[in-house]
Structure 1
């Protein structure tokens, strides 16, 4: 269900999400609840960025508010993506935990979720394991 490549390292951190697809409204609904067990010594500000892949542009991006100084930040924000039920089967949801910083906002942990492997007619709430992101 979660895609982890050989170069990724699973962390203890988890993100709680609720995913649901509204057939009537033709929308994927994602609730970002909270993150558990972040293990960073110095956290300035964190936010969660969502991309509906394979596209990576403004129309497929959503972002939470920034939460400062918390190792277990609570967001409880809801986002919607407009797409048909057929399109849903060809998409992945990339969820990245990003640290706010003045130079560059880079993901520090993330997970990719294959949407075709979940039954989203009913709300699907669970903790997803995050993997550490490394940048060259």
Structure 2
């Protein structure tokens, strides 16, 4: 899903995920009219972009664009070295203080696990059961 800033500039994440209308218990947040526009996770991938809060840098996009969108719970930023030898990530929680820059976490082969709150990812309010076999974290 794309977003527009106050000057009308259109932004698109590299990837985004969210619940579907058929997700049991999922509720649209205020400001999101249809499930096709409901994204709880935005993913930004950078190779030439660096970490930082200046315009065009990865952390700046999190704070100025994605965290302000209704329904977004997490923004995952992944940065690769230009030779793709190393990668690191930052997982921003939109309910936390976004002005505090997070330290990057190395991505280590063969896998790096990142935990999300399943209820927030699926847009399910507290008190409503998660779908069967769906982990809370």
Q: Which has the higher helix share?
A: 2
User: Structure 2 length normalisation: TM-score?
Assistant: 0.34
User: Structure 1 length normalisation: TM-score?
Assistant: 0.34
Q: Which has the higher strand share?
A: 1
Higher relative contact order (CA 8 A, sep 6+): 1
In terms of Rg, which structure is larger? 2
